[in-house]
Structure 1
Amino acid sequence: MSTAFRINPAHTAVLSMDCQAGIVSIYTKGDQAAFLARAAGVLKYARASHMTVIHVKVGFRPGLPEVSSENQLFGAIKASPQHQKFFQEPMGSIDPALGPVEDEIVITKHRVSAFTGTDLAMILRANDLDTLVLFGIATSGVVLSTLLEASDADFRLVVIKDCCADLDADLHSTLIEKLFPSRTTVLSAADFLKLQLVE
């Protein structure tokens, strides 16, 4: 844990990314209850500390007009009605253990990064948010893509490592242990709850 890292809640956004019911059930498997408990604990602490909570989800219009068949990842979803069900109700809903609650912001994206094609950057600028706390599914998907884009945009970053999940355990570990520390502060959920808050 980086004892030097400080968070000003007024300038911090916690991004819960792609934690939709169907995705959580596939990626967390036997750890689902524990994963949701950790993530819910992070969000509860963020709300109590007056940080901004933003939920990011994957979603499409009927027929997926946002997706090119040339896109290797999302083109496969467009070609498969079965896969599309994971982004429709009820599987496409954010897991109720995590929210959203009250007027929390929900951003729907059509690509891997939370920034691509969304108004996330505008919302962050409009609310003077310069620190992002990231977690979600998958580590090698939305977390990696969003982290790299946010790093290049000079945001201060935290990744909650045990609130991220990936089907490839080795890739998850490599990102968390080797790549992410060069761009962000990597913390456990328990360590995040101990961070010093400043005004």
Structure 2
Amino acid sequence: MALKGLEPGKRAALLVVEMQNGIINPAFTAGPLVDQVEARAIVPKINSLAAEFRAHGYPVVHCIISARPGFAGWNNNCYLAHHILRENRLISGSVYAALHDGIDFQPEDYIEERHHGMSAFTGTRLAPLLRAHRVDTVVLSGVSTNVALIGSAIEAVGLGYQALLAEDCSAGATAESHAMQIGMNLSAVASVGRADEIIAALKNQDGR
């Protein structure tokens, strides 16, 4: 049976959230989230999932966070916002704000950059872009299940989309927090599936 939100006739988009050098690439930064991304090997899984979305004609959107030079307009209103300000590295156009070097970005992909907020829809053109593609379902991947992915799932549902988490294409700060967020929070607002299940559901849409 197709995953909820990927039944035949449903149009989907893949959101690749905050897969950036300065957040999860060990060549540029360190920390427990970096370790989880490496341990779960989510970069190649995201690349495989993105390739299937492109083959199906569905959009792949890379949702990144960065600050304008000088942190103009940056709202320092929570711990994570303060952390980004203190680190002073996620500046728009910098190598730290760029997509992780291992992420396969293709010319038909989109980048939606936000300069404040902690989830993908805040202050971006993401919702109108999805409407233009007649998207019914957003498939979430990337980091982190602690904040950005749960926030993005809630926003997606609030805007009328179905949400689906690619569980093995995502990570949290720890294995325990990842499991807790899925079991207690994400599964309440989103379907949850693996990359291979999502790929199979997409192929099933057109009889492949």
Question: What runs of 5+ residues in structure 2 fail to find an aligned partner?
Answer: none
Any conservation in 1 of the 2:145–2:181 contact (CA below 8 Å)? yes
Aligned residue in 2 for 1:91: 96
Question: What runs of 5+ residues in structure 1 fail to find an aligned partner?
Answer: none
TM-score (norm 1): 0.86
Identify if the C-alpha distance between structure 1 residues 179 and 7 changes in structure 2 by more than 3 Å, giving closer, same or farther.
Answer: same
Among 86, 107, 110, the alignment partner of 1:105 is: 110
Any conservation in 2 of the 1:133–1:157 contact (CA below 8 Å)? yes
**How much has 1:10 moved relative to structure 2?**
7.5
Per-residue Cα deviation, 1:34-71 (whole angstroms, up to 9, x for no partner)? 22111111111111121111111011111111213344
Partner SS, residue 96 of structure 2: coil
Amino acid at match of 2:146: S
> 1: CA distance between counterparts of 2:145 and 2:80?
16
Amino acid at match of 2:100: D
Matches within 5 A, 1:1-199: 3=2, 5=4, 6-7=6-7, 11-25=11-25, 26=30, 27-29=33-35, 32=38, 34-78=41-85, 80=86, 83-87=87-91, 89-110=94-115, 111-195=117-201, 196-198=204-206
> 2: CA distance between counterparts of 1:194 and 1:142?
26
Amino acid at match of 1:131: T
Identify if the C-alpha distance between structure 1 residues 175 and 71 changes in structure 2 by more than 3 Å, giving closer, same or farther.
Answer: closer
Q: What percent identity do the matched residue pairs reach?
A: 23
Moved more, 97-106 or 107-116: 97-106
**How much has 1:87 moved relative to structure 2?**
4.6
TM-score (norm 2): 0.83
**How much has 1:97 moved relative to structure 2?**
2.9
Amino acid at match of 2:23: I
**How much has 1:161 moved relative to structure 2?**
0.6
Any conservation in 1 of the 2:118–2:147 contact (CA below 8 Å)? yes
Any conservation in 2 of the 1:67–1:75 contact (CA below 8 Å)? no
**How much has 1:156 moved relative to structure 2?**
1.5
Amino acid at match of 1:147: A
Count of aligned pairs between the two proteins: 195
Moved more, 169-178 or 145-154: 169-178
**How much has 1:147 moved relative to structure 2?**
0.3
Any conservation in 1 of the 2:66–2:113 contact (CA below 8 Å)? yes
The structure 1 segments of at least 4 consecutive aligned residues displaced by more than 6 Å after TM superposition are: none
Partner SS, residue 63 of structure 1: helix
Amino acid at match of 2:12: T
Moved more, 31-40 or 145-154: 31-40
**How much has 1:98 moved relative to structure 2?**
2.2
